[in-house]
């Protein structure tokens, strides 16, 4: 079948609801795009991967070949959010039960290795499709009910619509402890696709496309400006992009700040930043940078130790004051379900999946942070097979 616009708002909302349900229930996502990917293709892959991460679901992006350096800031976002960017010869990490195809007019244009081509033929994998290409030279890839394929300025705009719909579901966000759904990095990815695919609106054809372009570009540009430098006024989108790309250097410095403090037990690599060190951290870096870097550090230490990686830091008192923990499992180590840690230590404010969890404690629950972490690590080491 050639791709056609979704005929009704009701049907479109049903499909978005199915995709959100997949984010809730599925366990691992592989994101694919088209050969020789452009701005919108790469940006939509990154945006969806970040969205999956909000629900503590691992995802990886297959690029196949190295991409243009123009997109390096998007790859930096992946690196500091522990999203693997895969190239030819890289194995696809598990667990995997869902394939998401973005911005690709028809299946024979998919960038895929031999291993991925085999996965595409697996009927047990759910196939989700998000795309704005319609017309004669197009064909569906996704399973029925999971094809968010319709008119839009870009595929990134469609992911932006999923984000805006999710913002209204406060109970669902609370259930997954998602405190910052529309983060700076996800806004940047969406905005990159919206303005890139349309060349800042020049290539839009219909009045509907122009109307939605103005709506989404202004909304996401405003969000990005707020989350980037709150004291600055941006006169156009190009200034926002120039500012945000500078922040990749900030993330690198934040990564080194954490990594200089790494320690190892027998099977666990860990970093613990108490209130004073965290205060120093927040004087240099904003919240988005600290949160994404903590996830990346836990992932990095898991790979270095061969088993598990733990990152611990404290939120500033003016935010929540909570002590935050990120625990991740190495891709090579599958023998231990990290959710058992929550059960063993009676932790209620936390969640995740078998390979990655996050949890948080109130300061009055922890009299001595270093002592608590020592007991935590000792208890985990006793359980590891």
Do 43 and 117 sit in the same domain of this protein?
yes
Instruction: Please determine, for residue 251, whether its predicted confidence score (pLDDT) is greater than 80.
Output: no
Q: How confident is the model at residue 381 (pLDDT cuts 50, 70, 90)?
A: very high
* 82 φψ region: left (φ > 0), alpha (ψ -120 to 50), beta (else): left
Of 196, 228, 260, the domain-final residue: 228
Do 77 and 178 sit in the same domain of this protein?
yes
Poorest-pLDDT segment among 5-14, 113-122, 242-251, 307-316: 242-251
Interatomic CA distance for residues 272 and 109, integer angstroms: 46
- Give the pLDDT of residue 198: 55
Give the position of tokens 């759904």. Answer: 181
Residue 40, domain extent: 9-228
> And the tokens for 373?
């972490």
* Residue 201 DSSP one-character state: T
* Residue 16 DSSP one-character state: H
* 126 φψ region: left (φ > 0), alpha (ψ -120 to 50), beta (else): beta
Q: Using omega within 30 degrees of 0 as the cis cutoff, is the peptide bond preceding 62 cis?
A: no
The total of structural domains in the chain comes to 2
User: Torsions phi, psi of 105, nearest 5?
Assistant: -60, -40
Do 178 and 265 sit in the same domain of this protein?
no
Instruction: Please determine, for residue 238, whether its predicted confidence score (pLDDT) is greater than 70.
Output: no
Interatomic CA distance for residues 259 and 253, integer angstroms: 10
**CATH code: domain of residue 40:** 3.90.1640.10
In a domain, 234, yes or no: no
Q: How confident is the model at residue 225 (pLDDT cuts 50, 70, 90)?
A: low
pLDDT digits (tens, 9 = 90+) for 18-55: 999 999 999 999 999 998 888 889 999 999 999 999 99
Interatomic CA distance for residues 218 and 226, integer angstroms: 12
Interatomic CA distance for residues 141 and 139, integer angstroms: 7
DSSP 166-186: HHT-HHHHHHTT-S-SS-HHH
- Give the pLDDT of residue 374: 95
Q: How confident is the model at residue 233 (pLDDT cuts 50, 70, 90)?
A: very low
Of 228, 261, 287, the domain-final residue: 228
pLDDT, the chain, mean? 85
In a domain, 278, yes or no: yes
- State the average pLDDT over residues 287-313: 88
Of 174, 195, 228, the domain-final residue: 228
In a domain, 235, yes or no: no
Do 219 and 261 sit in the same domain of this protein?
no
Give the position of tokens 């997954």. Answer: 176
Do 91 and 219 sit in the same domain of this protein?
yes
DSSP 31-93: EE-BSS--HHHHHHHHHHHHHHHHTT--EEEEEESPPPGGGHHHHHHHHTTT-PEEETTPPPP
- Give the pLDDT of residue 192: 80
Do 94 and 138 sit in the same domain of this protein?
yes
Do 290 and 353 sit in the same domain of this protein?
yes
Do 213 and 260 sit in the same domain of this protein?
no
Instruction: Please determine, for residue 323, whether its predicted confidence score (pLDDT) is greater than 90.
Output: yes
Do 146 and 281 sit in the same domain of this protein?
no
Instruction: Please determine, for residue 221, whether its predicted confidence score (pLDDT) is greater than 70.
Output: no
Instruction: Please determine, for residue 338, whether its predicted confidence score (pLDDT) is greater than 70.
Output: yes
In a domain, 64, yes or no: yes
- Give the pLDDT of residue 301: 93
Q: How confident is the model at residue 224 (pLDDT cuts 50, 70, 90)?
A: low
Do 94 and 178 sit in the same domain of this protein?
yes
In a domain, 104, yes or no: yes
DSSP-assigned beta bridge partners for residue 59: 29
3-state secondary structure of 277: helix
In a domain, 239, yes or no: no
pLDDT digits (tens, 9 = 90+) for 101-129: 999 999 988 999 999 999 999 999 999 99
**CATH code: domain of residue 276:** 3.10.310.30
In a domain, 237, yes or no: no
Q: What is the dihedral of CA 36, 38, 42, 43, to 10 degrees?
A: 180
Q: What percent of the chain has pLDDT over 90?
A: 45
In a domain, 169, yes or no: yes
pLDDT digits (tens, 9 = 90+) for 252-280: 788 889 999 999 999 999 999 999 999 99
What's the distance, CA 56 to chain centroid? 9
Do 25 and 94 sit in the same domain of this protein?
yes
Q: State the CB neighbour count (10 A cutoff) for residue 272.
A: 23
Do 324 and 188 sit in the same domain of this protein?
no
């Amino acid at each position: 079948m050639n791709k056609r616009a979704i005929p009704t708002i009701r049907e479109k909302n049903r499909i978005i609801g199915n995709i959100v349900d997949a984010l809730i229930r599925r366990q691992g996502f592989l994101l694919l795009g088209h050969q020789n990917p452009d701005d919108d293709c790469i940006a939509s892959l990154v945006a969806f991967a970040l969205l999956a991460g909000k629900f503590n679901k691992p995802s990886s992006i297959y690029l196949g070949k190295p991409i243009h350096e123009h997109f390096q800031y998007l790859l930096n976002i992946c690196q500091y959010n522990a999203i693997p960017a895969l190239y030819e010869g890289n194995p696809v990490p598990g667990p995997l039960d869902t394939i998401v195809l973005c911005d690709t007019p028809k299946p024979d244009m998919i960038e895929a290795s031999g291993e991925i081509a085999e996965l595409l033929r697996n009927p047990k994998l759910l196939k989700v499709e998000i795309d704005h290409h319609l017309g004669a030279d197009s064909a569906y890839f996704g399973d029925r009910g999971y094809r968010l394929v319709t008119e839009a300025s870009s595929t990134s705009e469609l992911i932006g619509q999923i984000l805006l719909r999710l913002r209204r579901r406060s109970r669902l966000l609370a259930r997954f402890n998602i405190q910052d759904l529309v983060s700076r990095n996800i806004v940047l990815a969406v905005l990159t696709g919206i303005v890139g695919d349309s060349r800042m609106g020049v290539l839009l054809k219909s009045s509907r496309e122009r109307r939605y372009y103005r709506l989404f570009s202004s909304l996401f540009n405003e969000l990005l400006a707020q989350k980037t430098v709150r004291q600055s006024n941006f006169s156009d989108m190009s200034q926002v992009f120039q500012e945000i790309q500078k922040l990749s250097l900030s993330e690198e410095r934040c990564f080194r700040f954490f990594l200089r403090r790494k320690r190892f037990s027998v099977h666990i690599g860990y970093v613990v930043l108490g209130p004073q060190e965290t205060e120093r951290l927040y004087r240099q870096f904003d919240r988005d940078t600290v949160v994404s870097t903590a996830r990346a550090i836990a992932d990095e230490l898991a790979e270095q130790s061969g088993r598990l990686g733990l990152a611990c830091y404290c939120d500033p008192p003016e935010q929540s004051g909570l002590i935050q923990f990120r625990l991740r499992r190495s891709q090579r180590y599958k023998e231990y379900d990290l959710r058992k840690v929550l059960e063993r230590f009676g932790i209620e404010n936390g969640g995740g999946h078998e390979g990655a969890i996050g949890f948080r404690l109130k300061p009055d629950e922890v009299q001595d942070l270093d002592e608590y972490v020592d007991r935590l690590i000792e208890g985990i080491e006793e359980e590891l097979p």
